[in-house]
Structure 1
């Protein structure tokens, strides 16, 4: 019997920070490739690479990757060289959450759940089976012109993260790639500790499942809780600003703001406004790692907090404006979102304002 854990996203087209682009630009600079050539056609400025809060579209990073492959693609294991540069600290709060996890297995489970906070283009699916842990790396949706580079880069970066988490090289049981072997396989052996199989049906690597039970040297329960909260907030903010999730959120927010009486539209009405079927909308949202219900909750929560602190509306009136048939249903939902009741939230807001 085996257990399969899929990533929180099913495609690479999610927003990300600039740390990965900055890393690749730095690597290229060491090889004599200037910043201008690396950023050509990406719309990024050199100044933006130093902004830790900057968020870019995945296609922006893809433009930089294509520039890197164009400039240095004659290096036979370019992906390995670049992938080894990704350390746990490259991933910011996402990386610190992994470091703070109790065991390697729990760190992997967290990383899969919050994969959209990484820089990967290849999507891993983990399978725990008797005697072996297998991570299959899906590259089907990766553009063909950079597919081999990104498989090498992403698999190597994943392996490097595992090594950083444990503080030593993680020995793999096997590694397989779906492309032909290079003339010199030595860099693969040096990186993974074994000779991978090439021209195989899938990209994957596997480990002894016992390794997953090893405690991480920097595990810390309180730090993990803090990092998890920040990761959830970051994911929420990124989803709110981009793609199909942003389109749906815009349709869910009343045109008249908190003064609008119309209840939020249902998913069928939203799909019609977006000129697609309900089934297609559900599929797009699932690919984006969210759902109509989750986005509706996010909008309702934001509007509820605004109405409770900025208007004299009763709790029942707030519930009606948000589309709830009964105040009790709204109160239950609000407590689930915030851990407190609407009335208590309003009182606390007034107290903060007075202070």
Structure 2
């Protein structure tokens, strides 16, 4: 295990709000995985043909618990989930495929904006910077100045075997970044795993496109520098900065002692594209009564409905800056079932119809 307080973003530009959250022990209990990461894995498993209800039932996870982006699941529960997924698919290599599919899809994911960085190296660095929010069970580090540049996954020797499925999933997600950012497979110089192979080595090599070695001192991925530092066609520094600033606001609220407001903002940001937000459901995910949470939000100067409206408006600005989605898709991502309702809200926010933006 490692000490979360020792982990920090390597650049002050990369998500300063992560530091604020990581200093709050109530947010980042040690040796836990975030509900939002598990949701991404679950979504990928369903895309592979898995049964969502059966998977959650087998692990004993209440779906309502997954609605809170700051909810944490213990290491034993996370390991049980990975094992259940393997059993469900009857395939120990499933986590390599899930790592390929568990991509971030929109700004409701806390890490979606990392893909807007200048090059693949910066994207990886940003993702490593926010990894403590995703999980603090093992540690990932990135050395962009290495010759060649490399990533390592550090795990206590006693946990190398049980954590192997999680490590394999994580390695696969970083290998995916090249394809996602640059539209091509990663040019891996070498890939070493600390654990022994859990299935045919040929499957590992087919997934990663390079020779894979096992029982090494550490898990390590070496990537071609010419690929890492090539300008990214997705780079958008203006949008990246705007997305970072959006999450800095609730982090500032947290620093001011307005925790309920901050937690609610994060919750609504991740939930709003999935189902209509309700105060009752949000309160339950926090382990509170609806009446108590309503009172807390009023005390912290943002009643529930006003906060929902703020989250929608903030996300709307990002999607219009992104300029890659239709009005109908944006409306759905903001939780509007009808385009007309979104249009009315947009006029109220900005004084004109969205079609004139």
TM-score range, shorter chain: 0.5 to 0.7
Corresponding residue to 1:174 among 190, 204, 217: 190
Question: Is residue 24 of structure 1 aligned with residue 42 of structure 2?
Answer: yes
> 1:66: which partner in 2?
80
Please show how residues 94-109 of structure 1 align to structure 2 within 5 Å: 94-109=110-125
- Could you say if the C-alpha distance between residues 236 and 79 of structure 1 is closer, same or farther in structure 2, counting changes exceeding 3 Å? farther
Name the larger-Rg structure. 1
Corresponding residue to 1:124 among 140, 143, 146: 140
The question of whether the paired residues in 2 share the 8 Å contact of 1:15 and 1:55 is answered with no
3-state SS, counterpart of residue 204 of structure 2: helix
Deviations 1:220-261 (A, max 9, x none): 12101111113444666789899xxx9xxxxxxxxxxxxxxx
3-state SS, counterpart of residue 92 of structure 2: coil
- Could you say if the C-alpha distance between residues 183 and 67 of structure 1 is closer, same or farther in structure 2, counting changes exceeding 3 Å? closer
3-state SS, counterpart of residue 206 of structure 1: strand
Out of 103-112 and 90-99, give the one that drifted further.
90-99
3-state SS, counterpart of residue 227 of structure 2: helix
3-state SS, counterpart of residue 109 of structure 1: helix
Normalised by the length of structure 1, the TM-score is 0.55
Gaps of 5+ in 1: 247-304, 307-355
Out of 222-231 and 34-43, give the one that drifted further.
34-43
The question of whether the paired residues in 1 share the 8 Å contact of 2:161 and 2:195 is answered with no
Deviations 1:69-126 (A, max 9, x none): 1462452323212222221327845443222111222222222222234357432112
Out of 68-77 and 176-185, give the one that drifted further.
68-77
Structure-2 separation of matches of 1:88 and 1:12: 24
Structure-1 separation of matches of 2:224 and 2:59: 43
Question: Is residue 190 of structure 1 aligned with residue 206 of structure 2?
Answer: yes
- Could you say if the C-alpha distance between residues 169 and 150 of structure 1 is closer, same or farther in structure 2, counting changes exceeding 3 Å? same
> 2:170: which partner in 1?
154
- How far residue 131 of structure 1 moved from its aligned partner, in angstroms, is 2.9
Question: Is residue 56 of structure 1 aligned with residue 71 of structure 2?
Answer: yes
Out of 69-78 and 169-178, give the one that drifted further.
69-78
The RMSD of aligned alpha carbons is 3.9
Q: Report the count of equivalent residues.
A: 237
The question of whether the paired residues in 2 share the 8 Å contact of 1:178 and 1:203 is answered with yes
Structure-1 separation of matches of 2:235 and 2:104: 14
- How far residue 37 of structure 1 moved from its aligned partner, in angstroms, is 4.7
The question of whether the paired residues in 1 share the 8 Å contact of 2:32 and 2:135 is answered with no
- How far residue 174 of structure 1 moved from its aligned partner, in angstroms, is 0.5
- Could you say if the C-alpha distance between residues 153 and 199 of structure 1 is closer, same or farther in structure 2, counting changes exceeding 3 Å? same
Structure-2 separation of matches of 1:165 and 1:200: 29
Please show how residues 208-219 of structure 1 align to structure 2 within 5 Å: 208-219=224-235
Structure-2 separation of matches of 1:232 and 1:15: 22
- How far residue 140 of structure 1 moved from its aligned partner, in angstroms, is 1.9
Deviations 1:193-218 (A, max 9, x none): 11211111110101122322211111
Out of 211-220 and 65-74, give the one that drifted further.
65-74
- Could you say if the C-alpha distance between residues 26 and 113 of structure 1 is closer, same or farther in structure 2, counting changes exceeding 3 Å? closer
3-state SS, counterpart of residue 132 of structure 1: coil
- How far residue 57 of structure 1 moved from its aligned partner, in angstroms, is 0.8
